[in-house]
């Protein structure tokens, strides 16, 4: 935000402009406001979509821009309100006899699963993912 003195200085500068430059400033301000309004409307439209519709819009945006990494698609998803979760951790379990399973989840969830499996299956081995 401008201070009162800065605002007065800006007003004096604009008042001293020739008419065609004053119109150019007014047009530039109007265009900036119009662009902000379009962006606000676009965000509202994207956030009103279902998840499937938002993903389809993301695919569409990336097909138009055809980029890798798919930044246009990711931007559509962000604007639609999608957020990233905490990264998932991985833990592998090897059961007696050699069968194995790999699980993904939060540290807390995997710690709970590890505790239950270790109690239930004597001799189970696991990685340090949880």
> DSSP states of the chain as a string?
---HHHHHHHHHHHHTS-HHHHHHHHHHHHHHHHHHHHHHHHHHHHHTS-HHHHHHHHHHHHHHH--SS-HHHHHHHHHTT--PPPPPEEEEEE-TTS-EEEEEE-HHHHHHHHHHHHHHSTT-EE-S--
Based on the fold, state whether residues 3 and 13 are members of the same structural domain.
Answer: yes
Spatial contact of 79 and 39, defined as CB atoms under 8 Å apart: no
What are the pLDDT digits (tens) for 50-60? 888 888 888 88
Based on the fold, state whether residues 100 and 78 are members of the same structural domain.
Answer: no
Based on the fold, state whether residues 5 and 37 are members of the same structural domain.
Answer: yes
Average pLDDT in the 39-49 region? 92
Which tokens sit at 48? 């009103």
What are the pLDDT digits (tens) for 88-105? 788 898 988 888 888 888
Please report, in angstroms and rounded to a whole number, the separation of the first and last CA atoms in the chain.
Answer: 48
Band of the pLDDT at 13, cuts 50, 70, 90? Answer: very high
Based on the fold, state whether residues 12 and 42 are members of the same structural domain.
Answer: yes
Q: Which residue has the higher pLDDT, 31 or 72?
A: 31
Based on the fold, state whether residues 39 and 76 are members of the same structural domain.
Answer: no
Q: What residue numbers bound the domain in which 27 lies?
A: 1-47
Based on the fold, state whether residues 61 and 99 are members of the same structural domain.
Answer: no
Based on the fold, state whether residues 94 and 108 are members of the same structural domain.
Answer: yes
Based on the fold, state whether residues 34 and 4 are members of the same structural domain.
Answer: yes
- Tally the domains of the chain: 3
Mean pLDDT of the chain: 87
Based on the fold, state whether residues 67 and 100 are members of the same structural domain.
Answer: no
Based on the fold, state whether residues 96 and 59 are members of the same structural domain.
Answer: no
Based on the fold, state whether residues 27 and 39 are members of the same structural domain.
Answer: yes
């Amino acid at each position: 935000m401008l201070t009162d003195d800065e605002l007065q200085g800006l007003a004096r500068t604009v008042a001293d402009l020739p008419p065609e430059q004053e119109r150019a400033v007014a047009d530039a301000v109007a265009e900036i406001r119009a662009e902000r309004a379009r962006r606000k409307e676009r965000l509202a439209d994207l956030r009103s979509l279902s998840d499937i519709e938002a993903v389809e819009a993301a695919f569409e945006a990336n097909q138009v821009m055809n980029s890798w990494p798919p930044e246009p698609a990711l931007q559509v998803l962000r604007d639609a309100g999608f957020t990233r979760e905490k990264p998932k951790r991985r833990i592998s379990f090897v059961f007696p006899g050699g069968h194995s399973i790999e699980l993904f989840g939060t540290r807390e969830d995997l710690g709970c699963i590890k505790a239950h499996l270790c109690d239930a299956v004597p001799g189970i081995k696991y990685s340090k993912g949880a």
